[in-house]
């Protein structure tokens, strides 16, 4: 039984991750701003500890970590997944909005990592999971603030991992790169678009992401995991032909992130205040796109079983070589 901290646990991927840890009997601390969502999540997870926390403030994160260890015991796993964003062209995002997104979606990870690492290093054990995105490598239009934060997390995590390896530390850090996920973010994020925001297909259910994140927490020696064929395809294309991908996304990325449904661009979203407090209800883990979202990903299994695939590939090659030799004889 592990002591696990999940940031952003009131909704979306964080909610699904917390449920999965709780279902296997772990002691889960739930960190988020929205108390209605936190209370609902706590009601789903026996023995969990909800702690209202704005991850953009280090003192709140540090206080939450101290409270977790006082109530549940030493932290074994810390999962950073809390974020916020603004859907808009760069020129329409104010400096204060950009700063707020960066403080939540990047510095929130830095603060969570610091609070966890301070405690884990003294014990020489523990795992920190950074929940990333294909957008940690590939920027897309209308999401400059979010893409910038995810790129920053990628660089931060790589540098930290090198330091831990240099120190021969028993603490592990790994990153999970996600595809488009059916979460409530498209209902609660700040958007200056005139049409309702949507994820870029293919879309996956948050439970697909949660299974991958919990697996990564249990197997943190890998530097990162990719979730979904779209993530693998996007990262491969970006490595091979990033310029062509720039032009493709310039043509398709703006319309592809909007539905035909109208949206009020004056809606402030959850950037400054939690959406469940403003709108008075629990959003849960799923968004509005259940009818389009996939509940499984073969690529996730493949990402977690490289050894099996390599062995199968070697066996297939040996069989093929044998057949060719027999035909020649």
Q: Are 224 and 175 spatial neighbours (Cβ–Cβ below 8 Å)?
A: yes
Q: Are 217 and 290 spatial neighbours (Cβ–Cβ below 8 Å)?
A: no
Q: What does each C-alpha distance from 6 to 50, 98, 216, 284 come to in angstroms?
A: 10, 24, 14, 15
Q: What are 294's strand-pairing partners? A: 204
Rounded CA separation 220/127 (Å): 7
Rounded CA separation 67/6 (Å): 14
Residue 204 annotated to the active site: no
Helical H runs in the chain? Answer: 12-23, 35-44, 58-71, 95-102, 108-123, 144-166, 185-188, 206-218, 229-240, 242-252, 275-279, 298-304, 306-328
Rounded CA separation 94/2 (Å): 42
Sign of CA dihedral 266, 270, 273, 278: positive
Rounded CA separation 154/172 (Å): 15
Let me know the angle formed at the C-alpha of 52 by 47 and 55, rounded to the nearest 5 degrees.
120
Rounded CA separation 200/293 (Å): 11
Tokens of 171: 């603490």
Q: Which of 109, 137, 146, 215 is catalytic?
A: 146
Catalytic residues: 146
């Amino acid at each position: 039984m592990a002591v696990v901290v999940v940031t952003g646990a009131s909704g979306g991927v964080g909610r699904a991750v917390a449920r999965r840890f709780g279902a296997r009997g772990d002691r889960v601390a739930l960190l988020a701003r929205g108390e209605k969502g936190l209370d609902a999540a706590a009601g789903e997870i026996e023995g969990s500890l909800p702690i209202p926390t704005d991850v953009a403030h280090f003192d709140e994160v540090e206080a939450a970590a101290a409270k977790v260890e006082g109530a549940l015991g030493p932290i074994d796993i810390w999962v950073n997944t809390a974020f916020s964003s603004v859907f808009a062209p760069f020129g329409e995002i104010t400096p204060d909005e950009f700063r707020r997104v960066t403080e939540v979606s990047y510095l929130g990870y830095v603060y969570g990592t610091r609070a966890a690492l301070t405690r884990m290093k003294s014990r020489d054990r523990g795992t920190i999971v950074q929940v990333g995105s294909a957008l940690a490598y590939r920027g897309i239009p209308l999401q400059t603030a979010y893409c910038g934060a995810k790129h920053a997390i990628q660089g931060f995590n790589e540098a930290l991992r090198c330091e831990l390896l240099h120190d021969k530390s028993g603490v592990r850090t790994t990153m999970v790169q996600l595809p488009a996920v059916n979460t409530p973010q498209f209902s609660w994020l700040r958007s200056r678009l005139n049409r309702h925001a949507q994820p870029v297909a293919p879309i996956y259910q948050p439970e697909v992401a949660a299974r991958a994140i919990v697996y990564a927490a249990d197997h943190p020696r890998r530097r990162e995991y990719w979730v979904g064929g779209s993530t693998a395809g996007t990262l491969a294309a970006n490595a091979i032909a990033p310029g062509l991908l720039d032009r493709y996304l310039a043509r398709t990325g703006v319309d592809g992130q909007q539905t035909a449904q109208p949206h009020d661009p004056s809606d402030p979203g959850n950037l400054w205040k939690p959406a469940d407090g403003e709108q008075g209800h629990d959003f849960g883990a799923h968004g509005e796109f259940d009818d389009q979202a996939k509940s499984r990903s073969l690529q996730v299994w493949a990402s977690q079983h490289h050894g099996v695939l390599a062995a199968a590939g070697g066996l297939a090659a040996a069989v093929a070589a044998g057949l060719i030799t027999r035909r020649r004889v």
